[in-house]
Copies of this chain bind each other. A is one copy, B any other.
Amino acid sequence: MSGPTLSDVAHAAGVSYATADRVVNKRGNVAQKSIDKVRDAVATLGYVRNVAAANLSRKQVYRLAFLIPTGSNAFFFRVREHIMQTARHLRVDSVTVDIVDLPAFSVDALHSCIGQLTSFDFDGVAIVGLENAKLEQPLADLQARGVEVVGLVSDLPNAFRSAYIGIDNKVAGRTAARMTGLGSGSGEIQTFVGSLDARDHAERLQGFREVIAADYPQMTVLDPVLTKDDPAVLRSAARRALQKEQTVSAFYNVGAGNVGLIDAIRETYVNRPFCVVHELVTHSRQALIDNHIDLVIDQRPDVEVNRAFALLRALIDERELPPMPDLMPTIYVRDNLPANTFKPAMETQTT
């Protein structure tokens, strides 16, 4: 900084340091006259609060919580790893992190978990959310207590969080379709979804269909197999589809459970279809390397997690938010894979 300090402001305004502080930090109990003088001084001097000094004085700590779906999903395993790694690095900046596991896709579980959060006085929470109106009340309560909340990967009701950090799933689906069109060109595309009730899956499929219909009319999108993200379901459905060799020229798995899909492909000795899946995890990574699939569309959970931390801290400090360009889905082929930083053994079996 090395700009003007609050005592410069107090001086210029002809009031005490304490009074200048009261108006700058809106602590109240100040005469209008003093307020005006301080405001003027701030403006003419271009005073800007030194957040580091303030935090030192206040012994600020950042108590953060992340609410992450539990279970065997490899993607969220990755998310969790990134959170822990970042947390470790941010300990020296006085941030502490609790990761709260909760059942996937359960509005009730999320509802009660958010409700309990109020008793732990966190400063900020990042939530893998659901856009359900039932969550509005507990979120409002949380925010009323001054807790900053952001949606992560999957959004919360818009008015009840400060930001959403995640990709646009329709864009992800469109990207998958573009690559399928480029790579395959004609024939039928067998699609797989976990559930059409899951908004992200529905949006991806919609985006996918739009692009194929508009730009690749020589391709047909077959109705999706419903998989519940279960590898076993994917495996058998994929095997069936692989029998129809001549007509199915591409696979697109909108959801998780890729292990099953990959198994089916590995076990089948025919020309495999062009294959696009989501999320770079141990198995999809290996399948890319082994040439069992062609492309992975990834949402960069590392970037998302980093941003969640940065954003939460900025919100808690009430400082200007950093520039945050839209998060776009990333396309991986086997040539631009980042080094694998996780030990495969630690990752769970699904997806």
Contacts and interface: CB of A to CB of B under 8 A. Distances in A.
B323 A328 contact: no
Given A52-B52, A56-B53, A1 B336 contact: no
A211 B291 CA distance: 13
B92 A51 contact: yes
A94 B56 contact: no
Give the number of times this chain occurs in the complex, counting copies: 2
A345 to B, nearest CB: 20
A325 B302 contact: yes
Contacts of A323: 85-86, 89
A329 B320 contact: no
Contact of A338 (B50, B179, B326): B326
A272 to B, nearest CB: 14
Contact of A171 (B86, B302, B336): B336
Interface in A196-245: 207, 211
Contact of A331 (B59, B94, B333): B333
Contacts of A174: 335-336
A341 interface: yes
Contacts of A53: 56
B325 A336 contact: no
A328 B59 CA distance: 39
A183 B341 CA distance: 30
Interface of A: 1-2, 48, 50-53, 55-56, 59, 61, 85-86, 89, 91-94, 171-172, 174-175, 177-179, 182-183, 207, 211, 294, 302, 319-320, 322-323, 325-326, 328-331, 333-339, 341
15 contacts: A1-B94, A2-B94, A52-B52, A52-B55, A52-B56, A86-B323, A171-B336, A175-B335, A177-B335, A179-B333, A182-B182, A182-B183, A183-B183, A325-B339, A325-B341
In the A-B complex, list the 5 residue pairs whose CB atoms are closest, starting with the nearest: A174-B335, A331-B331, A182-B183, A175-B336, A178-B333
Given A50-B56, A178-B334, 18 more contacts: A1-B61, A1-B94, A51-B92, A92-B319, A171-B336, A172-B336, A175-B336, A178-B333, A178-B335, A182-B182, A182-B294, A183-B183, A325-B338, A325-B339, A329-B336, A330-B331, A331-B333, A331-B336
